[in-house]
Structure 1
């Protein structure tokens, strides 16, 4: 496993590779969160706006702000029709550029395992959320095999190809998420496991999609033809097509939510 930094610089490519997965799990997460309308939201690690768009459509927010370290991703988010009223800026999850109690809800979608110090990221979300507000997150179950491309990564490593990994994969464990929220003093902490599935038109659809992945795209392009052919054969075994030629498989994420204490 490689700890090489994973860079997200292609908003359109990310949309096909991960944005679709993000929307599937994000919809289930928002159903579970059941947030009331009219809140001031902060999306930490908003990326290309795939989740932010759903947040606007499902939660009728009063306002939405998003931060992300990638200007390329933010540029894609800004052109989404549903996000014309949202505000986006470059930002660090461990040092949020906002004053205390500036929001009613903060969410970290599929991001906490990328934060070098997850506890600091949670503390920063708690700092900028007002008393009684909600702090929440969801993350692919990286350790438990829930990442959508876990089988691909495993086969690449079996062939001796280094695959970059997020710096804080252990933070995606459901028990660790609960402990992080409790340790920051949040009330009414709850966790929830989410399973989603995605269908690709055929194996070629899947195969071309993975070449857009920020964690594997460059490695796939650099593999010798015979090694790449071997990987393709291995993945065809992992992902058999149904009678129509389509490929469907599951991914799993862990979610957590808590409320900021109210002082009397």
Structure 2
């Protein structure tokens, strides 16, 4: 079992989380409602799931992405929409860009993975020009909004230990608002997004779950009896429709604010 959550496989991430990221990301971008022709930075861009949406939304003047995983970035580089994007390795708490380099910085599904969320927010403010936008969205980890919350819940009830992000509290609305205000941002607004994803069958859903290392490696340590219990419980929690498909909902909290102008 892993003792920390790592993202080093762009293809498996796409199946496990990339689809979810784009579902909520599309609604998030509509909420931001930025004018066209802006310079964007995607902090924690990963395999480019959200960055791809960004590049196709609002005719941006430039799209940049930063992530600590070379493997994830390699996957992102293969996306046709990101052919002209500037994607580089870097740390959210020490962004490799000069001050005032962007019109907007976004952090999609990342802030609870940042060991010091306040420093991550401060870094986004630093690299965004006065009057620019700083925004983020995160699964509501405390409120059961994570797409695979029911899997985690059932596994823990069966005694399995799962790795956790370092800053899950940063996903709460009140914490997001506090982080943005403490970073000096103004016109701070909050929003909640609920999205739904349909899987063709329980077997498809289960294959995606066990295909993700942070969960699959833990399941591999469980006894056959415990795994059977887990799947039985999940089938009850996720009843199938008449065609055998199952639908899962997820909820994300979002925040946005503007960098104040001098004077």
Q: Shared topology, TM-score over 0.5? A: yes
Q: Distance in 2 between matches of 1:56 and 1:89?
A: 16
What does residue range 205-216 of structure 1 map to in structure 2 within 5 Å? 205-216=204-215
> How far off is 1:3 after superposition?
9.5
Where do 1:23-38 residues align within 5 Å? Answer: 23-38=22-37
Aligned to 2:144: 145
Normalising by structure 1, we get a TM-score of: 0.97
User: Paired residue for 2:108?
Assistant: 109
Matches within 5 A, 1:33-72: 33-72=32-71
Q: Which residue of 2 aligns with 1:244?
A: 243
With normalisation by structure 2, the TM-score equals 0.98
1:167-246 → structure 2 map (5 Å cutoff): 167-246=166-245
The list of structure 1 runs, each at least 4 consecutive aligned residues, that deviate by more than 3 angstroms after superposition, is none
1-structure distance, mates of 2:12, 2:44: 17
Structure 1 residues 151-162: aligned runs within 5 Å? 151-162=150-161
Aligned 8 A contact 1:14 1:212 in 2: no
2:116, 2:124 → 1: CA distance? Answer: 13
In structure 2, how many angstroms separate the alpha carbons of the residues matched to 1:118 and 1:256? 13
Equivalent in the alignment of 1:99? 98
**Matched residues in 2 for 1:123 and 1:3: separation?**
30
Gaps of 5+ in 1: none
Q: Do residues 118 (structure 1) and 117 (structure 2) align?
A: yes
Measure the CA separation in 2 of the matches of 1:197 and 1:223.
Answer: 29
Please report how far the alpha carbon of residue 13 of structure 1 lies from its aligned counterpart in structure 2 after TM superposition: 0.5
**Count of matched residue pairs:** 263
Partners of 1:212 and 1:182 in 2: CA distance: 39
Matches of 2:111 and 2:158 in 1, distance apart?
Answer: 29
Question: What's the CA shift for 1:59?
Answer: 2.4
Root-mean-square deviation over aligned CA pairs: 1.2
CA contact (8 A) 2:125 2:134 kept: yes
Equivalent runs, 1:248-259 vs 2, <5 Å: 248-259=247-258
Q: Can you give the 5+ residue segments of structure 2 that lack an aligned partner in the other structure?
A: none
Deviation at 1:35, TM superposition (A): 1.3
Cα deviation 1:41-83 (Å, max 9, x = unaligned):
1100000000000011112111111111111100000000110
SS in 2 for 1:170: helix
CA distance in structure 2 between the aligned counterparts of 1:254 and 1:187, rounded to whole angstroms = 18
Q: Deviations over 1:182-204 (max 9, x none)?
A: 11110100000000000000100
Secondary structure (helix, strand or coil) at the match of 2:214 reads coil
Q: Using the alignment, how far apart are the partners of 1:208 and 1:162 within structure 2?
A: 20
Q: Which residue of 2 aligns with 1:164?
A: 163
The whole-number CA distance in structure 2 between the counterparts of 1:190 and 1:56 is: 24
